[in-house]
Each structure stands twice: as C-alpha cells, then as structure tokens.
A and B are shown apart, each in its own frame.
Chain A
Amino acid sequence: MHMADALISPVVGGTMWAATAGIAAYSMKKIQNDLDEKTIPLMGVMGAFIFAVQLINFSIPGTGSSGHLGGGLLLAIMLGPYAGFLTMASILTIQALFFADGGLLALGCNVFNLGFFTCLIAYPLIYKKFVGAGYSSKRIFGAAMLSAIIGLQLGAFSVVLETLFSGKTELPFSTFVLLMQPIHLGIGIVEGLVTATVVTFIWKARPEILEQAALSKPLGSISIKKVITGLAIVAAITGGIFSWFASANPDGLEWSVFKTAGVEEFDAPAGIHQTLAEIQSKTAFLPDYNFKEPENVNVQGSASEEAAAWPAVNAGTSVSGVIGGTMTLVLAVLTGWIISMLKRRKKQLTV
C-alpha cells in the first residue's frame, strides 16, 4: 500500500504532507501533556519491533500463502492512538529513506493512509468501543478484526483517491477501486487475525499491560467530535485542491470524470504544472528548429486540439527529441565516468 513518488503529483504530495504534519503536531501535543519520560524509549523500541515483525511470514490456514503484519492497529493498542500514529510515522520514514519503500514526497500520503486511519479512526471509534466494557477473547477478536479491516479499507480507498487526483496513471476509478478494495480486504483480515491473536496472548499472559495502555491515555474524551473536526479540516483542504483544479479548468468535475474514463486526456494538470507549462510556452525559443508550433501538431487518430499540450509529436520534433534525449543521457553517463576516472587517477597519484 506504500505509494511511490513517481505516482503522485506535487500538489497531492504537498497537501497530504500538510495534513499529516498537522495530525502529527496535534498528536505530539496530545501525548506531551501526559508524557511519561518512559514513553519515548517505549515508542522507539516498539517501532523497531513492528519493523522486525513485518518480516515474519504468517501462513494463512487453508490457502497455502502467507501474510504480514502492518502493525498500525497493534501500535495503537499498545501505545495509545497518538503515540501509535507517531511511531507509525517514524517507521514509514525509515522505510522511505532506507528501503525506498514509498518515496519522500509520498511520505505524507503513506503516513496518512497507514497511520491515520488505523490509529486515529479505527482504534478510537471501533476498537475502543468494542473492548470498552472490558476485555474478553471474543471482544478482542471482533474489535481487532473489524478495526483492522475498516482501517485498511479506508486506507486503500485513500490510496485510490490520491492516485486519481495525481493523474499519473490511466487506471479508471472503478477499476482501481475494484482492484484495491478486495485485495485490502484480504490483507485486513490477516491483519485483524494476527493482531487479535497477539493481543489475546498479551491479555492472557500480562493483562496489566493492556489495562495500563488503555487507562493511561485519556481516550474516553477524544471522541467522535474531535475526529470529525479533524476530518472536516482535511476535507476542506482536499476541497480546496478540487476547486483549484476546477477553477483552472472550466469544467472541473467533468474534467475529473473524463480523466477517470480515460477519454479526454491532454489538458495540463493545474497548479505547478500549469504555471510551469505557461512559463515553458512563453519561453520556448528557437522556433526555426521546429519548436513553438504546438497548434499544428497532428496526432494520428485524435483531434489536434487534444494534442495541444504535447508539442513533441510531429516527425521533426520527435526525431530531435530522440536524438537530443540520447545525447543528454550519454552526456550524463560520460560526465560521471570521466569524473570517476579523474578521481581514481588522483587517488593513484597520491598513493
């Protein structure tokens, strides 16, 4: 479920960064109030634990395949929602930095999709409600299953939306949803099963740990109200982007519908893209070299206005593009090679 940088647009990446940073700041404020110094090492070591546990293969009965633990819900249960969210954020940061598992620009999206929905939606609104009356094997099982499944479904849906708003893939909305939700239903069931069994084990072996985790966080009051306020803010921000798209495009909604259907494609996306595209079109030079004539371009089998934003189609420019592109790449590699040769020689001389 980790999103890669290549699949998001700067606007979506930036917005999700802002939303995630806001939630993180709020969480930090929340836990600082009742921060016991022990919490920091506990969060740190628990983060590392989730990291290590993600590498365990749990064989799924009757299927012959195996699954992994995501860990968001388990973190929320063991540390409380806010500390759990922050720990999830640091896990994802390390994964992005060291394993290129989800990119740096997409980090905001990933923390939101994997941390927010499990720790701050599913945990307080579902899990807590289930086990609020007291722990029992059945309650733990039901609570963990339901929260894991719903948390992951929301996360997966959020991935779909973010990908769609970024407009990098041609995947139609319905196809993408039909692809993502069932897969994450399976993943959610495994997540729920593993979380339930682990929590049940802890509850039987050391019940005081769970009781403490539940008691020490003043969760009764976090309540739906605050979550809804948070969601409203996020919705407002998202709405802001939407209107941005809409205003940049006369028929914004139709535009996104068309986009989903993959019909009308060639309008440059709004925001940075468009500003930059404008600068680009204004500054295009060397018209003699077949440069500034996007209107005359003809794409085989499509209307010429559709192709307006893509100047590199006619034979002349595309040949220039291929030659120039090859040259650029060769030049990049050559530069690297020459510098490394020079460095090696310098080293040999000094030795």
Chain B
Amino acid sequence: MSDMMNSLSNMRLLEDLARKETFIHRVHPLIKLLTTVIYLAVVVSFGRYEIAGLLPLFFYPVLVLVLAELPIGPILKRILLVEPLIIGIGILNPLFDHQVIVLAGLTMSRGWITFLSIFLKGGLTVAAGLLLIATTGMDGVASAMRMLKIPRLFVLQLLLTYRYISVLMEEVTRTLRAYSLRAPQQKGIQRRVWGSLTGQLLLRTLERAERVYQAMCLRGFTGEYHAGYNSRVRAIDLIYLAGWAVFFLAARIYNIPMLIGSIITGVIK
C-alpha cells in the first residue's frame, strides 16, 4: 500500500518539478532528450576499469540540478532507491575477479574497481534520466518523441497510459484497502480471490476505457493529440546541446581528473 502511495507521490513530484520556469526548463524538450541520450551513451561507453574518467561527468547532473532549481533530497533518494538493484549484480564482481592491484598504495582486488565503476555509472545514468523528466515532463518528452517521428499512435497511447496510471492506482488502492479491512493481518491477496479481485478490476478498467473513448469522441477526438507544444528549436537550444556534447566527448577522450592530478603532483614535485 505504501508502495503505491510512494509511486503516486513520486510521479506527482516529478510532474510538479517539470512545471518550473528556469533556464533548463525552457530548453527545448527535443534538445534535452538528445543531450540525455548522448550523456548516457558516453557514460556507459567507459571501460569497466574506469573510475577517474567518469568523475567529470558529475558536472552534468550537478549543473542541471542546480540550474533547474530542483530539490536535491527527493532526486537523490530516487537514485539511492535504484542503486541496490545495480549493486546486486555489481557486487558479484569482487567475488569473481580476484586479481590484485595496487592503487595509490592501497592493495585491492580488481573486482572492486569494476564494481565501483558500475556503481558510479548506475548513479549517473539514473540521475540523467530523472533529471530529464523532472525538467521536461511527460508532455514535453512526448512532443520530443513526435518530432523524432515516433508514430502518433504510440505516443498517444503512451500519454493515455501515463494519464490513467494515477486514476487506476487510486482505484487499486481503494480495492486493496477494502480487502485488507475485511481480511486483517494477511500478507497479500489470498489465492482464492486472485481471479475475482484482479478480474473485477480488469472489467471495470474495460468499462472505463469505453467511457474514456466516448468522452474523447464527444470532445472531437480524431486520432490526434495536441500537447500544446509548438515551440521551435532556438539558437540557444542548439548551443546548449553543442556545449554539453563537446564537454561529454572531451571527458570521454581525455582523462580530465588524471590531467588535473598530474599537474598538481607535478607542481608539488
């Protein structure tokens, strides 16, 4: 039950955040989508022993977070909630790779390096995805998808699913609350009522779909969805994309922390 409330409040939070008016929010949705995709590709393209090289890529989430005036707490919480799944697979690396290496006077198994690398990549990729939706919103992403020529049918259906998630989650919540009040202290739904409980929900959903369709027809639905987004890509958007792309590629090609580090150690010497 709390799961459901969490999911709902999470979706609402992200949607609310997407309504802010900052520099980042004003960047064209398509540009933000492309920037995110390039960023993700660069992050995951790093080799599995790479750690230092990944660190400059922290600039992207940090800057977007700050410039878009997003609250750090909830976003960080979401990222940490997902990390265990990634850790679950990554943690096996130290078990399978015992090669010993010496790093800055510290002896450790190579598996830990790959694990740390996966952990960092997990955090960065999850952050990038969440920041995209928190600064663009579902409508924005959908309009970007349309501009990428993704068929109307799919985008429309995606938006409808998105729109009805909260409605149906609330319905499921009510049903489950009714069930738990009549069947106290039970873990989950008993086998006997799996079919009827879920089936009733399904029947109601089908009826709802029918009503939704009728309501859409009455409002002149002809198969097109108008998101109200009509903005064109501006010069500043292109600069935004180009700026990040250059930075990401530079971070991919040059090991920036190593450069800084060697300059510093060189100076000290």
Q: Compute how far the CA of A335 lies from the CA of B17 in the bound complex, rounded to whole angstroms.
A: 22
The answer to whether A269 and B96 have CB atoms under 8 Å apart is no
Quick one: which of B11-43 are within 8 Å of A by CB?
11, 14, 36-37, 40-41, 43
Q: Check if A291 is an interface residue, CB within 8 A of chain B.
A: yes
Q: Which residue of A lies closest to B125 (CB)?
A: A5
The answer to whether A100 and B164 have CB atoms under 8 Å apart is no
Binding site for A on B (CB under 8 A): 3-4, 7, 10-11, 14, 36-37, 40-41, 43-45, 47-49, 51-52, 55-56, 58-59, 62-63, 65-67, 69, 78-79, 81-82, 85-86, 89-90, 92-93, 95-97, 99-105, 107, 110-111, 114, 118-119, 121-122, 125-126, 128-130, 132-133, 138, 141, 151, 153-154, 156-165, 167-169, 171-172, 176, 186-191, 194-203, 205-206, 208-210, 212-213, 216-217, 221, 223, 252-266
Give which listed residue, A48, A273, A333, contacts B47 with CB less than 8 A. A273
Using known A-B contacts A56-B176, A90-B158, A197-B195, determine if residue A7 contacts B89 with beta carbons closer than 8 Å.
yes
State the main secondary structure of chain A at its contact with B. helix
Q: How far is the CB of B12 from chain A (nearest CB, A)?
A: 10
Binding site for B on A (CB under 8 A): 2, 4-10, 13, 24-25, 28, 31-32, 35, 37-38, 40-49, 51-53, 55-61, 64, 66, 69, 78, 86-87, 89-91, 93-94, 96-101, 103-105, 163, 167-172, 175, 193-194, 197-198, 200-202, 205-206, 209, 262, 265, 268-269, 272-273, 276-277, 279-280, 283, 286, 288-291, 299-302, 309-310, 312-313, 315-329, 332-333, 335-337, 339-340, 343
Most buried by A among B55, B105, B253: B55
The answer to whether B89 and A169 have CB atoms under 8 Å apart is yes
Chain B residues contacting A98 (CB-CB under 8 Å) are 10-11, 14, 133
Q: How far is the CB of A144 from chain B (nearest CB, A)?
A: 11
The answer to whether A48 and B165 have CB atoms under 8 Å apart is yes
Q: How far is the CB of A167 from chain B (nearest CB, A)?
A: 7
The answer to whether B187 and A87 have CB atoms under 8 Å apart is no
The answer to whether A13 and B44 have CB atoms under 8 Å apart is yes
The answer to whether B168 and A49 have CB atoms under 8 Å apart is yes
* Apart from A327-B260, A340-B66: 10 A-B pairs, beta carbons within 8 A: A46-B209, A51-B161, A53-B172, A168-B114, A198-B195, A272-B45, A277-B47, A291-B258, A318-B103, A329-B55
The answer to whether B257 and A324 have CB atoms under 8 Å apart is yes
The answer to whether A6 and B121 have CB atoms under 8 Å apart is yes
7 A-B pairs closest in CB distance: A44-B160, A324-B261, A201-B199, A59-B188, A289-B262, A47-B161, A320-B261
Most buried by B among A91, A168, A273: A168
The answer to whether B262 and A290 have CB atoms under 8 Å apart is yes
The answer to whether B48 and A168 have CB atoms under 8 Å apart is yes
Q: Which residue of A lies closest to B268 (CB)?
A: A323
The answer to whether B266 and A40 have CB atoms under 8 Å apart is no
The answer to whether B196 and A201 have CB atoms under 8 Å apart is yes
Q: Compute how far the CA of A21 lies from the CA of B66 in the bound complex, rounded to whole angstroms.
A: 34
Chain B residues contacting A300 (CB-CB under 8 Å) are 100-102, 107
Q: Compute how far the CA of A301 lies from the CA of B266 in the bound complex, rounded to whole angstroms.
A: 29
Chain A residues contacting B36 (CB-CB under 8 Å) are 104
Chain B residues contacting A327 (CB-CB under 8 Å) are 257, 260-261, 264
